[in-house]
Amino acid sequence: MTVSRVGKSKPPKVEEMLGPLEAEVMKIIWARGTALVSEVEEILNRRRTVPLAYKTVLTICTRLGEKGILSHEKEGRAFRFYPAMTETEFVAAQAAKATAALVSRFGDVVLSTFVDQVAADPDQLAALRRLVDGAVLSATKGR
């Protein structure tokens, strides 16, 4: 999957794709590269008047793991979590899921609508043309 931004749209926010606490946890772990639950808890609680419980943070990390966004390993009696993908890869995966769902549900109508949206911006239309040409070239090489 090619990950590149097309056009001048604003970058997607992780908060729009995850719950607010999940997004906070992911931003911390992406920034640090790896973290114990207690470290994430400490950072989160610096920003709060009402502190979160260790178990709450562990639950969030575990659920992010179940979603395939975090991985973990046992470190002594604790768990060290690390990203299973970069933030860019996460955004691309979410875009791919959303696109697949739209195409599955609406078929050619969504493709036509997408082209209509992109056609309003000559730079985006040119970028779409390059992406389609690249996909066609890749598909013909694979035959």
Tens of pLDDT, residue by residue over 26-81, are 999 999 999 999 999 999 999 899 999 999 999 999 999 999 999 999 999 999 99
- Domains, the chain, in order of start with CATH, read 1-101 (1.10.10.10), 107-141 (no CATH)
pTM tops 0.85, yes or no: no
- When the pLDDT of each residue in the chain is averaged and rounded to a whole number, the result is 89
Q: Please report how the helices 37-46 and 20-32 are oriented relative to each other, as an axis angle in degrees rounded to 10.
A: 120
Query: Does residue 44 or residue 118 have the better pLDDT?
Result: 44
Q: What tokens were used for 65?
A: 């793991």
CA distances from 35 to 14, 66, 69, 74, 107 (A): 19, 17, 14, 12, 42
Residue 78 host element (H or E): strand 78-83
Q: What tokens were used for 105?
A: 């549900």
Residue 55 has a pLDDT of 96
Residue 143 has a pLDDT of 62
